[in-house]
């Protein structure tokens, strides 16, 4: 069996080498062999982080307002999504039955509610089995029968997505909205990923108008964009962040600083018209003076670029308003703060006031107490990110065409005339130097056309050696571990 296996491998190797036209050269359909590109944008992002909450995600909770995404690879496959209110990939892509099973729970300690709540969970899971889950989105895939999706929710509120071979797009937009601490005019987000014959391009653009933040910051217009390209040899990125009509106010609502960010850089001016020579310092001082006392900090983002050969990416958080636990921590650490109330907020189950409610025989479940206490740990952070964009592009060049040279037959072997001896390499008698003479027939080698004999010998040796080592490797992988030698079993 071993000899037959080696002979088969050797014969196959010789057939591939010796037969003319065994491999046919095949050109690529495009100038790119493989690619992977993507673009993601969100006009406004709410990112809540709380390490003590116990959720192993970063951020702990997130909501993206006016969100778009477009992914494309050389599968070929593509995916586009647009959503005016996206809860993040974890919740947005979770099956509905999983959400019913995890989100719903009995908030009380009454066992009589366990069965009704379980029935609701089961009925909800069965009713939504096989559905896509989170509904506030337009989504398209390729290859599938859903290559385009568009939803007009209301006047000025639109979500759209498309996914075709070589192209993916996602877009969403909405009119004015917001209430209380944040308000805005029109906002939009558009992401696209396209593959061309010699280049892949991913692009995202987000726009926000008439933005008001807590009454302390007003912005007339904020636009962020990013583009990543790759031609299989070199990757590149570009983009911009433009902030027009930005005003920082004090607690009375009086303007204190006018800020503009354009292609020429950062410009700062005071309401009286005076230009600031050091705009970055003026912005930093204004943030410290008017925002930080309220527990707020503000940062204008800078692009984070990564370029490695044919792969390139860029991410940018246009403007970030950071709200930390400064106010909560200051409140709880104040020595004049009542100790009983501090215990009540940090540990509701241990408070004498709430122990009858959460303790043994109480109405509310200790799980609810844990949720309440977690929001008073003093380690919360909330980031409002305006104009966040991210793009990436990577491609590999096409494989070079393989040209198989023409194989011609070797010339006939010249031989001396037949002298009556035995041909075919048998000795015919002594020669002049005392050795045995050899006569060679004038014939063409059989079974070989245009390949030197040395190549065949080398190929046969490689085939035999390779087959032997592969056989040894397979035996070691599939065989059991060696057992201890048993002398009794050998008798």
User: Going residue by residue through the chain (491 aa), what tens digit of pLDDT does each one get?
Assistant: 444 444 444 444 444 434 443 333 333 345 788 899 999 999 999 988 877 766 667 788 889 999 999 999 988 899 999 999 998 887 787 776 666 666 666 677 777 777 887 777 777 767 666 666 788 899 999 998 888 999 988 778 999 999 999 999 999 999 876 655 788 999 999 999 999 878 999 999 999 999 988 788 899 999 999 999 999 899 999 999 999 999 988 878 888 889 898 888 888 888 877 777 788 888 888 888 888 776 778 888 889 999 999 999 999 998 998 877 665 666 566 666 667 666 666 666 666 666 666 666 667 676 666 666 666 666 777 888 999 999 999 999 877 767 767 767 666 655 555 444 444 343 444 444 444 444 344 444 444 444 455 555 555 555 555 554 444 444 444 444 444 444 434 44
When divided into structural domains, the chain yields a total of 3
Burial of 317 (0-12, 13-18, 19+ CB in 10 A): buried
Are residue 449 and residue 384 in the same domain, yes or no?
A: no
Are residue 155 and residue 264 in the same domain, yes or no?
A: yes
| 216/212 Cα distance (integer angstroms) | 8
Q: Is residue 332 part of a domain?
A: no
Q: Is residue 166 part of a domain?
A: yes
pLDDT at 304: 93
pLDDT at 94: 74
Are residue 50 and residue 106 in the same domain, yes or no?
A: no
Are residue 264 and residue 298 in the same domain, yes or no?
A: yes
Q: What residues contact 91, with CB distance under 8 A and at least 6 apart?
A: 99, 134
Are residue 111 and residue 142 in the same domain, yes or no?
A: no
Q: Are 95 and 185 in contact (CB under 8 A)?
A: no
Are residue 16 and residue 46 in the same domain, yes or no?
A: no
Range 194-232 burial, b when 16+ CB lie within 10 A, else e: bbeeebbbbbbbbbbbbbbbeebbbbeebbbbbbbbbbb
pLDDT at 254: 87
Report the length, in residues, of the chain: 491
Tokens encoding 209: 């108008």
Q: Is residue 335 part of a domain?
A: no
Report CA torsion sign: 384, 385, 387, 388.
Answer: negative
Query: Which of the listed residues 103, 133, 163 is the one where a domain comes to its end?
Result: 133
* Site of tokens 């709380």: 50
Are residue 263 and residue 152 in the same domain, yes or no?
A: yes
Q: Is residue 312 part of a domain?
A: no
pLDDT at 336: 64
Q: Is residue 18 part of a domain?
A: yes
Q: Is residue 352 part of a domain?
A: no
Compute CA distances 463 → 9, 19, 62, 456, 466, whole Å.
6, 17, 59, 10, 5
Are residue 143 and residue 14 in the same domain, yes or no?
A: no
pLDDT at 453: 54
Are residue 80 and residue 100 in the same domain, yes or no?
A: no
| Nearest CA among 44, 47, 48 for reference residue 67 | 44
pTM: 0.66
| Host domain of residue 214 | 32-84+138-223+242-302+317-325+380-390
Are residue 175 and residue 202 in the same domain, yes or no?
A: yes
Are residue 292 and residue 201 in the same domain, yes or no?
A: yes
């Amino acid at each position: 069996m071993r000899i037959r296996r080696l002979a088969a491998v050797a014969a196959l190797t010789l057939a591939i080498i010796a037969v003319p036209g065994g491999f046919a050269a095949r050109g690529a359909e495009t100038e790119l062999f493989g690619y992977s590109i993507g673009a993601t944008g969100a006009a406004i992002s709410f990112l809540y982080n709380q390490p003590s909450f116990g959720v192993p995600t970063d951020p702990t909770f997130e909501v993206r307002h006016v969100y778009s995404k477009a992914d494309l690879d050389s599968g070929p496959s593509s995916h586009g999504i647009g959503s005016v209110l996206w809860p993040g990939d974890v919740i947005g892509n979770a099956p509905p039955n999983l959400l019913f099973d995890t989100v719903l729970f009995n908030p009380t300690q009454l066992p009589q509610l366990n069965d009704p709540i379980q029935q609701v969970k089961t009925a909800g899971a069965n009713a939504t089995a096989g559905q896509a889950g989170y509904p506030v989105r337009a989504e398209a895939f390729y290859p599938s029968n859903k290559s385009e999706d568009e939803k007009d929710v209301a006047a000025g509120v639109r979500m759209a997505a498309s996914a075709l071979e070589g192209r993916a797009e996602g877009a969403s937009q909405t009119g004015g909205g917001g209430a209380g601490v944040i308000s805005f005019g029109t906002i939009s987000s558009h992401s696209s990923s396209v593959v061309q014959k010699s280049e892949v391009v991913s692009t995202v653009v987000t726009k926000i108008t008439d933005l008001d933040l807590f009454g302390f910051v007003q912005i007339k217009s904020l636009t962020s964009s990013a583009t990543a390209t790759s031609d299989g040899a070199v990757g590149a990125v570009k983009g911009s962040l433009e902030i027009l009509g930005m005003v920082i106010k004090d607690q009375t609502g009086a303007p204190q600083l006018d800020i503009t960010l354009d292609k020429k850089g950062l410009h700062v001016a005071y309401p009286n018209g005076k230009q600031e020579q050091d705009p970055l310092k003026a912005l930093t001082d204004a943030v410290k003076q008017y925002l930080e006392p309220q527990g707020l900090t503000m940062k204008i983002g800078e692009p984070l670029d990564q370029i490695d050969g044919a792969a390139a990416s860029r991410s940018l958080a246009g403007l970030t308003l950071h709200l930390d636990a400064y106010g909560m921590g200051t409140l709880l650490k104040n020595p004049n703060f009542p100790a009983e109330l501090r215990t009540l907020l940090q540990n509701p189950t241990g408070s004498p006031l709430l122990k009858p409610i959460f303790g043994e025989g109480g109405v509310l479940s200790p799980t609810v107490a844990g949720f309440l206490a977690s929001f008073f740990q003093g380690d919360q952070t909330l980031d409002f990110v305006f104009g966040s964009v991210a793009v990436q592009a990577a491609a590999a060049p096409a494989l070079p065409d393989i040209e198989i040279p023409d194989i011609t037959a070797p010339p006939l072997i010249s031989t001396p005339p037949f002298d009556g001896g035995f041909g075919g390499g048998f000795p015919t008698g002594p020669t002049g130097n005392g050795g045995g003479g050899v006569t060679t027939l004038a014939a063409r080698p059989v079974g070989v056309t245009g390949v030197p004999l040395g190549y065949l010998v080398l190929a046969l040796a490689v085939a035999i050696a390779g087959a032997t080592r592969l056989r040894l490797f397979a035996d070691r992988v599939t065989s059991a571990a060696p057992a201890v030698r048993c002398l009794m079993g050998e008798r």
